[in-house]
Amino acid sequence: MAVPGWTLNVLYGPLLPHKLGACMTLTRRLLLLALISVLPAIVIWAFTEVSLRRAREAEVNELVIRQAQLVASEVDHIFDGIHSLLLAMDEAPAIRTFDMPACNTYLRSVHQKVPHVIAFVVLDVTGAVRCNDRGFFNADLRFSDRPYFRESIAKGDFSIGTYTPEFTEAGIGAYSVIPLSLPIWGADGKIIGVIAAAMDLRWLDNELKERVLPVGGSLTVADRNGIIISREPFPERFIGTRIPDRFSHYLTAQSPGSFRADSQDGTNRIFGYIPASASPAEGIYVSAGLATTVAFAAINEAAKRGFMLIAAALVLALSLSWLASRAFITKPFEIMTNAVRDWRRGNYQARIDLPQNAGELGILAKAFNDLMDDVAERQEALKASEERARLALEAGHMGTWWYDHRKRIGGWSSQAALLMGYPASHTTISAEEWKSLIHPEDAERVTAGIREAFLANGDYEDEYRVRRPDGRVRWISSKGQVSYDAQRKPVFFVGIFQDITERKQADDQQRFFLDELNHRVKNTLATVQSIAAQTLRASKSSAQFKDAFEGRLLALSKTHNLLTLTSWRDADLHDIAEQELAPYKREADERVVIDGPGVNLPPRYAINLGLVLHELVTNAAKYGALSVPTGRLELSWSVEQPEGQPTRLLRILWSESGGPPVEPPKRQGFGSRLIRRSIEGELDGTLTIDFAASGVSYGLSLPLP
């Protein structure tokens, strides 16, 4: 083996004058070399660990904000259910006339069906108790000083009160409650009183715990004064206490956000919060937290394993190097030094001729082989680190990209190519091709942002839409950094992007449901009016009208409870249809026909189909077949498996007949937009409408997951 002379001089020159001292130096060098060989793996491991933790922290911040939004939505659903109940109760004649015996009996019957409401009480405009579910009477008792009473009178609308501890009035018992009230309007359009309900906070806490509390998570719900009305864990310690001053500024913040802190129970958590001003439930503050030990458990375990592997590799490398150096130095050294002298004189053909059992040259060769093995091990560690980084990016639906400013070429990772609708092998992309992907409405803003990043400090962050080759429009969040040379000229532009389409759709969906909530309230009142009119026409006596009308209102209430309280979790289509059409089937089964197989729908399908059926029922009750006694409605569906298609199709037919003459509408209202958006926008289905003179019919076709 030919070795350059200068290399041998550096390695073996010091061995010649002082053998023992040189031997010790060589041992140290081998040990140091083994240590240095492991350092790149340590650096890569540390860099990967930091990157993963930062990515996980950002992910957890988004997660806790979404969790807080979910809790706030659940609280709003619960309060909205009480609101709907009070609206229905407000229509009872016994309440409007303050008929105490009948009113007490009515309130008692309602209370038996909603045990989570501790008490119902009807007050006149002076705050005097006119009736209640317990039947007590106290002429001196007044509620006029209650904030919720004054607020309902002042604004003439539903009011959410504040935390009320130890609710013991009229022998009800010791409960911590939150009052909810609704004004009672007289026939002359003036407020004649208030109907109030006291919700049990223990029930509220248990409901939120079962519905929205994840493993290792926490939640806090407080009223507008910062008094905690629901807390998990340890509700018994914190319900009724005030949010600490160090967290009070989140209560009045302008928008949702997240922070990391030690909670009152001593657990370090990452919190997402919805301030009272931004909460769906008026005046209610919500925060949701996730313990850092749970959030970073997987990363901590992976870091521990990686550290142990690197430590084991370091110990193994040092041990092998020490053993190899001992074996090499204790062998016949004279032959090796003679060969080294020949090499120094220029005789590069000289060889170290050792006996087979000596093995000095073999040991030296083995040392070099061991060194190469260490290099290979580092390469494998680097590949493993890159694979972990790639898996982390894939798990987060992220991809990396780069752009060489000098060469005017760019590219992205295979994961990025897949996210953008290209094959994984398509990793090189030109600037023109990239610009063609950007949505035309966002192109100018995106280009300006990139230009500003080059001219400013090099930081880049933006969210925009792209149109993939298959025509689908997706939202992405892109972040990057520009590197410069010594003359402050841009050299490289690198970064990551993430598909955030689902987050954007969730934001749009939330705004959409707020609009739908306002629309639903109006439709509910119209539905009640229609039911009352039909019941009155078909009733021969006031008693018959009362029984029929209350039964239909109860069916309508069950439908709203199914929508607002259970959110259509894994609901059957037949149950949805039965709930929506129950007010019209009770006394006229022959008018309403429901036919179809059992279809178990996931939450997104159940919610949207529930909204659609609600709109169709409302329209039929207001203008269609359900608005007249002679009308007939048929609702049927079937599930098909198209040949050559991987997904099943759910086909629904809504057909009306015998109603008023049908004319195509001159404009599209909110209900029509809701139906079309739910079917075509949210569920990727198709909708056909036939405005035949004999009755309108709707055809729905949906791909099932």
The string of pLDDT tens digits covering residues 339-386 is 556 555 655 455 555 555 555 555 654 343 454 455 446 656 766 766
CB 195 within 8 A of CB 120: yes
- The verdict on residue 513 lying in a domain is no
- The verdict on residue 441 lying in a domain is yes
pLDDT band at 504, cuts 50/70/90?
A: confident
Give the residue-averaged pLDDT of 6-14.
39
The CATH number of residue 670's host domain is 3.30.565.10
Indicate whether 690 and 590 sit together in one domain.
yes
Give the residue-averaged pLDDT of 153-173.
70
Helical H segments across 165-296, by residue range = 201-212, 235-238, 245-251, 292-295
Indicate whether 319 and 428 sit together in one domain.
no
The CATH number of residue 468's host domain is 3.30.450.20
Tens of pLDDT, residue by residue over 530-570, are: 667 756 765 678 887 776 567 556 645 655 565 555 554 56
pLDDT band at 275, cuts 50/70/90?
A: confident
How is the beta sheet containing 592-595 ordered, strand by strand? 592-595, 632-640, 648-657, 695-704, 686-692
What does residue 219 show for φ and ψ, rounded to 5 degrees? Answer: -145, 150
End residue of a domain, out of 395, 416, 451 = 395
pLDDT at 221 over 60: yes
pLDDT at 700: 93
pLDDT at 638 over 90: yes
Tell how strand 268-274 and strand 285-291 pair up: antiparallel
CA separation, residue 681 to residues 400, 461, 508, 516, 673 (Å)? 30, 29, 11, 15, 10
Tens of pLDDT, residue by residue over 641-650, are: 888 778 889 9
Domain that holds residue 577: 523-704
Helical H segments across 165-219, by residue range = 201-212
Indicate whether 321 and 412 sit together in one domain.
no
Tens of pLDDT, residue by residue over 658-669, are: 888 888 887 777
- The verdict on residue 343 lying in a domain is no
pLDDT band at 170, cuts 50/70/90?
A: very low
pLDDT at 393: 63
Indicate whether 254 and 115 sit together in one domain.
yes
Give the bridge partners for 635, in sequence order.
Answer: 594, 654
Structure tokens at 41: 């793996």
Q: For the chain, what is the domain count?
A: 3
Q: pTM of the entire structure?
A: 0.41
CA pseudo-torsion sign 587, 590, 593, 595: positive
- The verdict on residue 346 lying in a domain is no
Indicate whether 435 and 555 sit together in one domain.
no
- The verdict on residue 11 lying in a domain is no
Indicate whether 532 and 681 sit together in one domain.
yes
- The verdict on residue 475 lying in a domain is yes
pLDDT at 622 over 90: no
Percentage above 90 pLDDT, the chain: 5
Indicate whether 415 and 552 sit together in one domain.
no
* Residue 173 backbone class (left: φ over 0; alpha: ψ -120 to 50; beta: rest): left
Indicate whether 403 and 538 sit together in one domain.
no
Indicate whether 116 and 260 sit together in one domain.
yes
pLDDT at 208 over 60: yes
Indicate whether 252 and 301 sit together in one domain.
yes
- The verdict on residue 620 lying in a domain is yes
CB 371 within 8 A of CB 29: no
pLDDT at 14: 43
Indicate whether 413 and 452 sit together in one domain.
yes
Indicate whether 583 and 642 sit together in one domain.
yes
Q: Chain-wide mean pLDDT for the chain?
A: 76
pLDDT at 329 over 70: no
pLDDT at 324 over 50: yes
**Distance (Å, whole) CA 339 – CA 334:** 9
- The verdict on residue 349 lying in a domain is no
End residue of a domain, out of 499, 514, 543 = 499
